[in-house]
Structure 1
């Protein structure tokens, strides 16, 4: 969006403030980091603090300081007397002191180069770095490359293409052989045995076990390819062939008794099976990772937390003084009207961008003030927080807070998080207090990490342990939080040792 504005409006230009430090005080200059680091340079504001002051160990602009970051545009000049006159000319009702945050946010900033929408970069040959670094092809293309090297007949090649087309994203064959037979030309008179032969060959290509029709066949193909001198191989084959359901249910006592094996023997066979790939095609279909550029950075300086906009994405934009100097006060020609329109649009864009960054910084700072414990202790110290709390503190509507924190990311010492991550519902404690759902999930994760894997904690037991910590949650709530953490139920977490 910023680049589009620069391309479409001749009055806008991006500049390097290191070369023009004097421009940092211009009304149409965008440099949040400088203003944050030098709050004394901003004009004083009469606005009242809409929220509480920051914690004593948390350094960031207070609500009053946020207001002083943007001086009154009527009191500032663009670049000299002539441009100052033009500024006065453009002070119309269309550009008031305060822009309507709710109305401009979606219109102007939906495509800002922040977070996931940072835009593509190109090398000297014009090739996108994203395209160059993305995975090449899929499981289907990987198999086709190998099949092209084989001496297939025309019939076998068509069969192979049907098999490959029938693979799902995990590399499993989801077509019946009869369906493939029906898809072949009638006059070719293809037998099921011929289709099975081609399938068997494909299943032994790379990755081994691809095009299997079920999990058992996939694992068995991989097991049978292992050296025969592996002591655990025969038992592992038996487990996959005859007792896959019991193995999946972790019914180890039944397996030991029924197969007449020791616990150590069963453990060795299970460990061998765990080296196999149950989804051989999944790794070939992975999409390129999405890299996130944080919008805000929180760091600790002199034992105080400081919140700043990320200078890497904080574009510095101003009105081009050369073009603005072309505007003449008493000239009503079409060219002058065009320049005035461009000037007003440029000033509106710069001010709305300034307000966007001010709002983002205010909201981010307030969130970090509330969640300062997270910065020191992680998820377990997360406090209950909802949109209404922040909206009330900074004096904005909840819908605005929602838009500000959606797909906006903050870089913390513990990693990069979406701002929305720091909002969580509350759960009442027995003593009448409140604890955040995020903190409860962290507690559940900790309890499970410390459990006896031979006797994993059930959801009911987890609820009882939380109750001992004065956290009142139902078993079904524990199950919901556990599933959100992608932790399987207790029967699937059971291990022999």
Structure 2
């Protein structure tokens, strides 16, 4: 039997404006510019630039003017056109950076276009004489190659896909033959199914000599021993000297494990880091500036203002005119919300970064990473009275240009540990010392984690072996056995 009941719940929901703001805060400079461009294209009520020249940014507005930007929200269901059109109700709605001149930065970066990696391979395969069915199969194999240059699928799965999608029924032997043809394309190693095959393909392209032959034999017959650096077993198996083994291993180390990554000229543009902030040292004091790309000048379109005035002056208000005005109201709301979100984004970014450089002032003044203090997200959140998640959004995706290079902001955050004197030190400092010790070790007898723990203890950092292992993995440093060299 169904029963009716009444429950009371207290829910907290984010408004669309808050969601938009959080997404905007998380965007780095380049993605923010793309988001801004998208909004300008989709919303005709929003315009960039000033009235004289829409293509230039005006960065000369004072801080007081910046803080007076209008913030009110508009209820699109109940707007009085007369009030909405009055001069008092239409604020300037502009946001500018106040710390850069308009010509400080290049705002447009040209890129050369080119063919894609897949098209590069297809162009080569077109030089072979193939039947129509062979062309379809080789094109399908090339389309299965990933950005690293590998085919990471079983050929039996490729056979099934050819049958279902291309209506082509062939044998695995024929597929193997055509795959060998694809593997003859440049760059060498492309079309391999695993690392072992990729390296062997590259070696077989080289001129034959004893060290090349040995390298091929090592990979074909003792790949596991090579990967695990069991050099003694390799010496015994192939009855060679250490010098011969060194030459063979050197040939392998020269190879490219990701042949697809060597392709240059594709449409895939290499990611360029654009700093969101700049920290300068001026007369012994730190100066923080926000990249002016993050502060475009935006305003409401005058054309929309004129459309509303035309509706006001019109004596005959048709249904189509009313619908047009409703559309205008919605676009105006969207434009104002977007401008307000940009302004809040700038304030949030500046507050976060300013708190960070004040906390790490000694580092920013000296560039000495040993001066980095332990700092977690909550430390900054408490200073600026914001949520930890907001600080995380700023730290994870933003870069800062410093006199010592461009740094990812999250690199300044680290946990704390106590040294033998009871002082709090940053784990970043300990990792740097650990990395230095490993770089200076004897590669013929690399240090184990236990030995590394003992060395750091002698330096005043009592750390357990498992902590050493954790830091080593975070630094992407392999275990001692895999660091061994001939």
Instruction: Verify the 8 A CA contact 1:16 1:316 in the aligned structure 2.
Output: no
**Is the partner of 2:346 in helix, strand or coil?**
helix
Aligned to 1:141: 119
Aligned to 1:306: 287
Unpaired runs of 5+ residues, structure 1, are: 31-69, 74-85, 96-107, 109-117, 123-128
Tell me, in whole angstroms, the C-alpha distance in 2 between the residues paired with 1:168 and 1:21.
45
User: Is 1:472 paired with 2:472?
Assistant: no
Please identify, of 464-473 and 291-300, the stretch whose mean Cα deviation from structure 2 is larger: 464-473
Pairing of 1:406-485 with structure 2 (within 5 A): 406-485=396-475
Q: Cα distance 1:451–1:372, how it changes in 2: closer, same or farther (>3 A)?
A: farther
1:105-140 per-residue CA deviation (whole Å, 9 max, x = no partner) reads: xxx9xxxxxxxxx9x959xxxxxx56x55x6323x4
Question: 1:176 offset after TM fit, Å?
Answer: 4.6
Please identify, of 444-453 and 431-440, the stretch whose mean Cα deviation from structure 2 is larger: 431-440
Tell me, in whole angstroms, the C-alpha distance in 2 between the residues paired with 1:200 and 1:11.
56
Tell me, in whole angstroms, the C-alpha distance in 2 between the residues paired with 1:13 and 1:203.
53
**Is the partner of 2:206 in helix, strand or coil?**
coil
Pairing of 1:213-224 with structure 2 (within 5 A): 213-224=193-204
Aligned-residue Cα RMSD (Å) equals 4.8
Tell me, in whole angstroms, the C-alpha distance in 2 between the residues paired with 1:192 and 1:448.
48
Q: Cα distance 1:26–1:163, how it changes in 2: closer, same or farther (>3 A)?
A: closer
Tell me, in whole angstroms, the C-alpha distance in 2 between the residues paired with 1:21 and 1:175.
54
User: Is 1:292 paired with 2:273?
Assistant: yes
Tell me, in whole angstroms, the C-alpha distance in 2 between the residues paired with 1:425 and 1:402.
15
Question: 1:487 offset after TM fit, Å?
Answer: 2.0
Tell me, in whole angstroms, the C-alpha distance in 2 between the residues paired with 1:153 and 1:344.
60
Pairing of 1:273-288 with structure 2 (within 5 A): 273-284=252-263, 287-288=268-269
Pairing of 1:312-331 with structure 2 (within 5 A): 312-316=293-297
**Is the partner of 2:400 in helix, strand or coil?**
strand
**Is the partner of 2:245 in helix, strand or coil?**
helix
Match of 2:247 among 244, 264, 268: 268
**Is the partner of 2:292 in helix, strand or coil?**
coil
Aligned to 2:476: 486
1:202-246 per-residue CA deviation (whole Å, 9 max, x = no partner) reads: 222212232234433332232222222x34122222212222211
Tell me, in whole angstroms, the C-alpha distance in 2 between the residues paired with 1:342 and 1:155.
54
Tell me, in whole angstroms, the C-alpha distance in 2 between the residues paired with 1:409 and 1:471.
30
Match of 1:401 among 391, 403, 408: 391
User: Is 1:227 paired with 2:207?
Assistant: yes
1:441-494 per-residue CA deviation (whole Å, 9 max, x = no partner) reads: 222222222121112222232222222233233323322222222222221111
Question: 1:367 offset after TM fit, Å?
Answer: 0.9
Structure 1 length normalisation: TM-score?
0.66
Question: 1:299 offset after TM fit, Å?
Answer: 1.1
Q: Cα distance 1:397–1:26, how it changes in 2: closer, same or farther (>3 A)?
A: closer
Tell me, in whole angstroms, the C-alpha distance in 1 between the residues paired with 2:182 and 2:299.
62
Instruction: Verify the 8 A CA contact 2:151 2:192 in the aligned structure 1.
Output: yes
1:30-81 per-residue CA deviation (whole Å, 9 max, x = no partner) reads: 3xxxxxxxxxxxxxxxxxxxxxxxxxxxxxxxxxxxxxxx5899xxxxxxxx
Match of 1:251 among 202, 214, 230: 230
Aligned to 2:176: 196
Question: 1:297 offset after TM fit, Å?
Answer: 0.7
Instruction: Verify the 8 A CA contact 2:150 2:192 in the aligned structure 1.
Output: yes
Q: Cα distance 1:8–1:274, how it changes in 2: closer, same or farther (>3 A)?
A: same
**Is the partner of 2:451 in helix, strand or coil?**
helix
Tell me, in whole angstroms, the C-alpha distance in 2 between the residues paired with 1:372 and 1:184.
62
Aligned to 2:131: 153
Q: How many residues align?
A: 406
**Is the partner of 1:235 in helix, strand or coil?**
helix
User: Is 1:364 paired with 2:342?
Assistant: no
Question: 1:25 offset after TM fit, Å?
Answer: 4.8
Q: Cα distance 1:319–1:442, how it changes in 2: closer, same or farther (>3 A)?
A: same
Tell me, in whole angstroms, the C-alpha distance in 2 between the residues paired with 1:322 and 1:306.
40
Unpaired runs of 5+ residues, structure 2, are: 1-34, 71-85, 96-104
Tell me, in whole angstroms, the C-alpha distance in 1 between the residues paired with 2:58 and 2:122.
59
Structure 2 length normalisation: TM-score?
0.67
User: Is 1:205 paired with 2:185?
Assistant: yes
Question: 1:9 offset after TM fit, Å?
Answer: 5.1
Tell me, in whole angstroms, the C-alpha distance in 2 between the residues paired with 1:414 and 1:248.
37
Tell me, in whole angstroms, the C-alpha distance in 2 between the residues paired with 1:184 and 1:21.
58
Question: 1:283 offset after TM fit, Å?
Answer: 3.8
Question: 1:298 offset after TM fit, Å?
Answer: 0.3
Question: 1:260 offset after TM fit, Å?
Answer: 2.5
Aligned to 1:389: 379
Instruction: Verify the 8 A CA contact 1:12 1:346 in the aligned structure 2.
Output: no
